[in-house]
Each structure stands twice: as C-alpha cells, then as structure tokens.
Structure 1
Amino acid sequence: MKKNLIRRTALVVAAGAASLVLAGCGSGDGTSGAHDGHGSSSSASSSAPAPRGQHNAADVAFAKGMIPHHRQAVEMAGLATGRAESAEVKKLADEIRKAQDPEIRTLSGWLTSWGEQGPAEGAMDHSMHGSGGMMTPEEMGSLKKASGEAFDTAFMEMMIKHHEGAVAMAKTQKADGAFPQAMTMADAIITSQTAEIATMNGLLRKS
C-alpha cells in the first residue's frame, strides 16, 4: 500500500511539474512575441537601434543642419592658414577646426545609428545659405580672395555671424531635442562659440 501511495504521489508531482513547464513555455512564447513586436516597431521607427524615446525629430534636424554648418566653418578656418595676418586669428581658426571636425564625425555617427541619411561629404545645403549664419557662395568667394588684414576683418565678421547661427541652432536643440548627447553638444556649442564671438568682437574693436 505504501509503495502504491508513493508511486501515485510521484506521478501526481511529475504531472504537476509537467503542466507548470508547459504553462511556462506558453507564457514565454507570449512574452517573446510581445518583445519581438516591440523590437520590430522600434526598428521600423527612425530611432533604431537606439531605445525608443531617446531621440526625436528635433535631434535629427539638429544633426542634419549642424553638419554642413560645421563643414563651412572648418572650410573658412582652413583659409586662415595661408591668408590671415593676425596670430590671434590664426590661433582662433585652428581652435575652430579642432573643435568642429570631431563634432562633424559625432553628428554623422548619430545619424547613422538612427538609420538617417546624413549630408554627403563635400555637399552643401544651398537652401541654408543666408540662414543660420551660413555664408552665401558670394561671401565665401570674397573671403577666398582676401588676404592679410582685410582677410582677418572679413573672417571675423563672417565667423561671428556664422557662430551666432550655430548658437541659435543649439538653443533650438536645447528647447526641442531629447537625445542626451545632442543636448550636451548643444551646451558645448553655446558656451564655446559665445566665448569665441566675444573674442572676435574684442579683436575687431582693436583693429
């Protein structure tokens, strides 16, 4: 009797365990399905592979707008090497190039990670010329023809306007953006370029 009772008890326990395993599998399938659905909806959105809610349309606009903006500043700064007369202007141009070149790479990396197409290398968004502090082709042409003290003055006047545009773009990012690293970059742009504007204004007053 005892042996039969033990055998029956073991069978009941085994059956119960089996039902729990089956229930667990069923529950796991349901959960997995929910995660798969969430994953596909994330990858279908513009935020892949970043977690949902980590960036928004304002972050994308900031990156897409700031890349050509920075590229033009780097191009302008490159002209100072052979054309500027003032050591202060040459130093400032070098600092601008060193700060903005890495930011271009960072911005491009964000767009790639978000599944967004960034501006092509060497491409300029001509719709931005004259807005956001961007120089027009005519202004860039005149800067390329200048040298010496005339270059220094033109460079600083144009770069002040350019920096003011970047600061405005960064403030828009701070107001509307969501991506933490973009907010940090916006803060850095506001701080560094506001300081450079003050430096250039000071140099212009001395000239």
Structure 2
Amino acid sequence: MKKLAYTLVIAATVGLLAACDGTPTAGNSPEPTPPTATATATPTSEPTAPSATGNTAQGNTIEIGDYGFDDIARLDAAGCGMTLWRAEESTASAGDRRFILLNGLDDDSMIMRINGEDVRFNRTAASGEEFYGQRTSQTFVSQNGGITVTANVELGERGEIESVAIREGTVRVEQGSAVVEIPVAGDAGC
C-alpha cells in the first residue's frame, strides 16, 4: 500500500509539473535517447568533469545513465521524495526531462543507473535543511558497498501542492578511483 501511494504521488507531481507549463506528459511524448556522463579515474580527490570517452589505462570509468517516466513506474520508484536531473535539462519541458537520481522517503530507496545497471543505495548520512524526507546534503552507499554518492542541493521556490524546487546542486559519484561530478536541478514533494 505504501508503494502504491508513493507511486501515485510522484506521478501526480510530475503530471502537475507538466500541466503547469503546458507540455505533454510522459504518456504522449517520445522518450529521448538517454544521455550519459562518463568520467575517468583520477589519482587525486579532485572531481573529474563528465567526458564522452572515459577510457583510461586503468579502465576505471563511471557512466551515469538516466530514467524516463516509464522507468520510474517499472522500478516502482515513484512517490514522495526527490528527483534530480542534469542541470542542462532544466530548460526541457517537464515531460521530457530524464532523471539521474531517484530517492524516496526510506533510507534504502535511492536508485541510480550506473554503468548500465540500476543500483540501489542506502542513505548513510544526511545534514542541512529537511524537506519531504530529504536533506540538503545526503550521502548514499550502494548496497554492495562499492559506490558512494553525495548529493548536495539548494532549495528553490515552494510549489502550490506539496512540492519544492531544487534550484541547483551537485551529485558526486565515486567508485574506486573514478569520480564524476554532475551539476543538477530537480524537485521534491509528497
């Protein structure tokens, strides 16, 4: 029952966002080809900008995939929580945005597509302002312990119906010596 309510709330929020700006909803708009961000391994702790190639002598890369509306339903990942997309997608209509991070209310509900696989994460730390079961700074570790994700966001305007915009932020993904940092925007609600 909780998952059904969770699914309905995100679907309603996304539908409202699409309706507010006059754009088509996911049900009647084509899915674009998913872009990815790839970073190469670096010997320092400095973030590596996303690149198209991502090949190194060590072979360490991180490829960040994304999700459309159909994926959210398939993964049973809709509901109260936070969705983040690449900052450059902020100008796209709400129905055409591709999400790179989905996080619900539970500490084990975060999911990302990394290196072509849907990876589930546990929240291990959170600080800053609270909003809809989220915090402005959150750290997640993959359930197999091999990947760490840090999401730092700045809140924007509150929506009319149980939502808040995420004006900007950064998602940092670390796997071994590979690091990728992606500028993001998004929303959260219930």
The TM-score normalised by the length of structure 2 is: 0.25
The TM-score normalised by the length of structure 1 is: 0.23
Rg larger in structure: 1
Higher helix share: 1
